[in-house]
Amino acid sequence: MQTHTPSGNAMLDPAADPTIPVPERPTPRYMLVFLGLFILTIIELGVAFVGLSRIMTIVALIVLAIYKAVLVALYYMHLRFEPTRLRVAVLAPLPLAFILVLAVLTEF
Amino acid sequence: MTTATAVLETRRPMPGMGVYNMKLGMWVFLLSEVMFFTSLIGAYIILRAAHPDAFAEPGVVLNVPLTAFNTFVLICSSVTMVKAFAAIEHGDQAGLKRWLIATALLGMFFVGVQVVEYIKLAEHGFVPATAAYAAAGGPLYGVTFYTMTGFHGAHVSIGVLCLWFTVFQAFRGRYTREKHGGVEIMGLYWHFVDLVWIILFTIVYLI
């Protein structure tokens, strides 16, 4: 809402101004995400020491870690509720990071 | 510039990205951090693949239960951080202060446990740049371990300092239901630190 002072200068009332973006996203169930992260961490510990084959252990642990990281990014960092353009921008360095590791790995 | 105008400037979405300047700036910074930690993790993976005998098996040298507990502490701190943000989104000043303080204390606890872990490892001769712990895996193991966890610990420590500053600002009444960009930016950084630790814990301690 814009009000006008006697001098004619526009004053903005941030508490009522509809042009100031107030978050409209639904509030995620933070404790549910926390429970998920906790359970996934327990599963990780189990996978690490249960005696699976080396390859299976590595693949399972990496998948679990990525899943946990995605949960944090989507719900705690609210990436799920951000504009698509920002999400694309955030994802942009991931292929570059992959290329960085892959390119150096080929040296061996 | 009036305070109200400053609020608008802070919260106004950028035409291109649809988020306000401070948040976009923090995301850009975090993306640069992604590349930084990728280089560290990538170097670790490459060195480990090239010299498998230079690295110990999980749980042989490193204290996995202690670090798993520390991981739990950091995950808890992410919850308290997001609770602080949710509180101020609803105008709950008391909740904001309470959850921010809890986050800062949990962050300090995490760093404290990491220091204890370093001391215990050093007592067993597992320190970087010496040959004394060659039996525990080899020099590469210590160097990569301390580099990765050390840089992460530095990020957590800086985050704790920023958190106490955010607490200070909260007690000064600088955050409101309409203007709480500082809390959101702080939260983004803190969750990123948690996210990096999730990856590091798996790669360094479990694999």
| Residues B78-92 pLDDT 10s | 999 999 999 999 999
Q: Any chain A CB within 8 A of the CB of B5?
A: yes
Angle between helices A54-71 and A30-49 (to 10 degrees): 170
Burial class (CB in 10 A: 0-12, 13-18, 19+), B197: buried
Radius of gyration of chain B (CA): 20
The CATH number given to B20-206 is 1.20.120.80
Across B101-124, average pLDDT: 95
Q: Which of A58, A31, A73 is nearest to B27 (CA)?
A: A73
Runs of H (alpha helix) within B51-138 = 64-89, 93-123
- CB-CB under 8 Å, B38 with A45: no
Pick from A78, A85, A100: nearest CA to A26: A78
pLDDT of residue A6: 39
What is the Cα–Cα distance from B31 to B36, expressed in whole angstroms? Answer: 9
Which residues from B are below 8 Å from A47, CB to CB? Answer: 206
Which residue from A minimizes the CA distance to B64? Answer: A45
Q: pLDDT tens digits, residue range B1-34?
A: 455 454 544 566 666 777 888 899 999 999 999 9
